[in-house]
Amino acid sequence: MVGHRLEMKIRSVRFFVIPAAILVFVTAVIPLIVLATSVIDKADIFSIWAKSPVRRALVFSLWQALLSTASTIFIGVIATWYLSRYQFLGRRTFIALVTVPFVLPTVAVGAAFIAVLPKALHHSTLAIVLAHIFFNISIVVRTVSPRWNSIDDQLIDSARTLGASPLQTWRHVIMPLGKNAIFSATALTFFMCFTSYGIITILGGPGLATVDIEIYRRAVQLGDLSGATVLAIAQMLLIAITFLLWSRSRSTELVLFRAQAISHRRLSLVPKCFFLALAAFFTVPLLALLAASLRTRDSWSLNGWKVFLGIQKQRGIDFNMWQAIQTSAKYALIASCIALPTGIAATYALSNRRSSHSRLSAFVILPLAISPVVIGLAILITYDFQPFDFRSSWLLIPVVHAAIALPFVMRSALPVVEGIPNDLRSAASTLGAGPWRRFLTVELPLLKPAISTGLAFSLAMSLGEFGATSFLTRRESRTIPIIIASLFGKAGDIPRTTGMAASLVLIISTAMIVLAIDRKSHT
């Protein structure tokens, strides 16, 4: 009897995945099926690859992603090692500095690199690679440092007493212990760089287009929906394979470590210089952004800010920034209200039941494996005709943002949910708490860190989202990233400085939201 009731409970928890599944169905599965079946002209499946812009985009996507990933992993691994094993002045600040960029708005960061780099490098592979490093180092730090943080100092000592030189210790102990995490970080970084869109919109140019840019160009500028769709599906398959490798490596991670406080070893001169350089790398672009927002070709001026704030009118600039801020804030709040409960409920349903539910969990994480641009395109095509007139609803964009944030909410919630011991639930039950009381009084307080991290993620994701939004946006409800991109597409000093001002405001507000919420959860 008791066994039967327990069975019932486990089954009912499973249903918590339904809202997330609906979200993913509406925003990804149905649109992708429609995309794959409705608009493809069979001839394009083969002929598209002969077109030179497509080939160039493929080659460029691949090689800039390889270059960006290799540099990111190299610098990220060194930074992670010192951050997870050494104590030094400013370490905490540095961790914040390194981990925040990942959630910053891509177009705004692109603008920051325009501001900091000399004009000759504005539209160059180097600029793109640097911006990708800026973004993705945080992936390495976030994934690898928990692993390395938990290596007992004495384990390294024992390697040394067995005759391992520092280099051998790295090769045979430290790297193998971080291997799975580094592999995960590599796959995710590669995916992020390969499908880079916002950054390339700002920093790319002739010959510097990724597949995502080419998809957008075909679909929106050339009206070649069939060609765009073939590209989108081919890219999706490639990413699905990368993603599969990624999730496989995650499941074999070693977890049998003793947690331990950070040791008090001091940094020597070389790593100190490394961190100084890295700190400059993360802060100088933002300072340059501020300077660039105040600088026209030959003098200092507040015109950019005046246009941004709507105090001054400028011909050719027809947006209302306050309205854009309102739109962005509204979308971010709605997206979080959807993504957070849906994501945490789904995490509950999927945690601790890996084997039978792994397929289902892959399915909820699906949007992570599909570039937002493809989602945008698919939704544009699917919901544009009756009976689904979802396209004209203003709710569409925040719902899509929620779907994009969902995997991140779940990723941050999973360790917390799985960290709640089952015995604790049982203890609450034996003390007379029913399922709801137990949830409210025991589990909810313990879930707090997951809720705040998830909230920070979903707010930031929505505020900065550009890929899908660029397809779905409407004139009267443009978000800040859309406006920034359009400003950088215009010629002249005023649009540029206005774009810089908007980028700075967007970066600072996103960073503050993330730091405030994420910090609070740790104190």
Partner 1 sequence: MSLIIDNISFSYGDREILNGLSLEVPAGTTNAVVAPSGSGKSTLLRIIAGLLTPSAGSIILDGKELSRVPTHLRSIGMVFQDNQLFPHLNVYDNVMFGLRMAKTEKTIAAKRCSDLLHLVGLTHAAQQSVVTLSGGESKRVALARALAPSPRLLLLDEPLIGLDNELHDRLAHDLQRILHATSTTALLVTHSIPEAEIISDSIHRLQAPIDSVQDGEEK
List residues binding partner 1 (CB under 8 A): 152-155, 157-166, 168, 172-173, 176-177, 179, 254, 256-257, 263
The residue (of 147 and 478) whose beta carbon lies closer to partner 1 is: 147
- 511 close to 96: Cβ distance less than 8 angstroms: no
**Tokens encoding 135:** 């973004």
The residue (of 173 and 230) whose beta carbon lies closer to partner 1 is: 173
Q: CB of 177: closest distance to partner 1 in angstroms?
A: 6
The residue (of 173 and 381) whose beta carbon lies closer to partner 1 is: 173
Q: CB of 179: closest distance to partner 1 in angstroms?
A: 8
Q: CB of 166: closest distance to partner 1 in angstroms?
A: 8
Helix, strand or coil, per DSSP, at residue 268: coil
**Tokens encoding 127:** 């600029």
Handedness of CA 171, 66, 28, 50 (dihedral sign): negative
**Which spans in 101-224 are helix H?**
106-116, 125-149, 153-161, 166-169, 175-194, 198-203, 211-216
Q: Identify residue 448 by its one-letter amino acid code.
A: K
Q: CB of 135: closest distance to partner 1 in angstroms?
A: 30
Helix, strand or coil, per DSSP, at residue 375: helix
Q: CB of 147: closest distance to partner 1 in angstroms?
A: 11
The conformational region for residue 506 under phi > 0 = left, psi -120 to 50 = alpha, else beta, is alpha
Number of Cβ atoms within 10 Å of the Cβ of 120: 7
Contacts of 212 (CB under 8 A, 6+ apart): 61, 195, 196, 197, 200, 235, 371, 373, 374, 467
Q: CB of 145: closest distance to partner 1 in angstroms?
A: 18
The residue (of 260 and 283) whose beta carbon lies closer to partner 1 is: 260
The residue (of 12 and 154) whose beta carbon lies closer to partner 1 is: 154
User: Cβ-count burial of 318 within 10 angstroms (0-12 exposed, 13-18 middle, 19+ buried)?
Assistant: exposed
The residue (of 166 and 421) whose beta carbon lies closer to partner 1 is: 166
The residue (of 162 and 244) whose beta carbon lies closer to partner 1 is: 162
The residue (of 9 and 160) whose beta carbon lies closer to partner 1 is: 160
DSSP for 415-430 reads HHHHHS-HHHHHHHHH
First to last CA, the chain: 43
Q: CB of 268: closest distance to partner 1 in angstroms?
A: 15
Q: CB of 356: closest distance to partner 1 in angstroms?
A: 24
User: Cβ-count burial of 78 within 10 angstroms (0-12 exposed, 13-18 middle, 19+ buried)?
Assistant: middle
